Amino acid sequence: MDKYLSYYTNFKKYNYLLILLTQNHISKKYRGSVLGIFWSLLNPLLQMIVLTLIFSSFFGNQISNFPLYMISARLVFEFFSTATNGTMKSIVDSSDLIKKVYIPKYLITSSKVLAEFIIFLISLIDLLIVIFITGADININFIYVPLYLLLLFIFTTGVSLVLSTITIFFRDIEHLYSVFVMTLMYFSAIFYPAEIVPEKYRFILEMNPLYQFISGFRQIVYYGQPIELYNLLYCIVAGIVSLSIGLFVFEKNQHKFILHL
């Protein structure tokens, strides 16, 4: 328990370093780009337009306001996918820094997740744009959005800590994970209604934590309804379990990192 409390202490002690690393990740991501961070707004909108044109012809009759249905899920999935993919080699890519100075290694991974989370928050402006253009409502239930975003961040951080640890010892995981994420997209009901999945196979969706986060987010921003207790509890448990496993795996193996860098 003391070891895990030290993570919190280090976050307070090295918060300036966390901020610097986060700023550096964002700067590097858009370095040399003419539009820079504006791509965090433009890219989701372009993806939404393309995917809406493709899938609305299949599911448009079953889903009203398909653009909002699509982007509300796509933004959540894109954050998780980009953050976890981007952090896999975070320790490996920072080997020179780790060898030269002392730095709490989990800050390297966490800062990259935080950088992607900030970009994700900026991209939520697109969600507001779509809500405004399509005439959808913003109601009191939107106050729950920050809670879901926090839980999503915690869940993603836990997964990222596990992946960044595994990658040090097994570099091929990067290629396997890209296939896994692509498969995960089709089991997250991003561009189709979950109701089209036969009841006997619906449990596959229900077991997918990312589907639960997407469902909870949609419940608020698309359906405009109060959160469902089961869904909220699922996301809370998923976040706690993910972060606990992530910290445990990282803590157990970080002393071996230097031998494999």
Domain boundaries along the sequence of the chain: 2-260
pTM of full prediction above 0.85: yes
pLDDT digits 0-9 by tens, 145-187: 999 999 999 999 999 999 999 999 988 888 899 999 999 998 8
- Across residues 194-212, what is the average pLDDT? 88
Nearest to residue 250, comparing CAs of 186, 175, 165?
165
Tokens (6 digits) for 131:
């809500």
User: CB-based contacts of 38: which residues, under 8 Å, 6+ apart?
Assistant: none
DSSP 130-150: HHHHHT----GGGGGHHHHHH
Q: Determine contact, residues 91/174, Cβ cutoff 8 Å.
A: no
Please tell me the distance from the alpha carbon of residue 138 to that of residue 222, in angstroms, as a whole number. Answer: 9
What is the tens place of the pLDDT at every residue in 102-160? 788 888 899 999 999 999 999 999 999 999 998 888 889 999 999 999 999 999 999 99
Q: Within 13 A of 141's CA, how many CA atoms are on the CB side?
A: 15
| pLDDT score recorded for residue 65 | 87
* Percentage of the chain exceeding pLDDT 90: 43
> Residue 212's pLDDT band (boundaries 50, 70, 90)?
very high
Under 8 Å between Cβ of 224 and 139:
yes
Q: Which of 86, 224, 77 is nearest to 152 (CA)?
A: 77
As a whole number of angstroms, the distance between CA 19 and CA 23 comes to 6
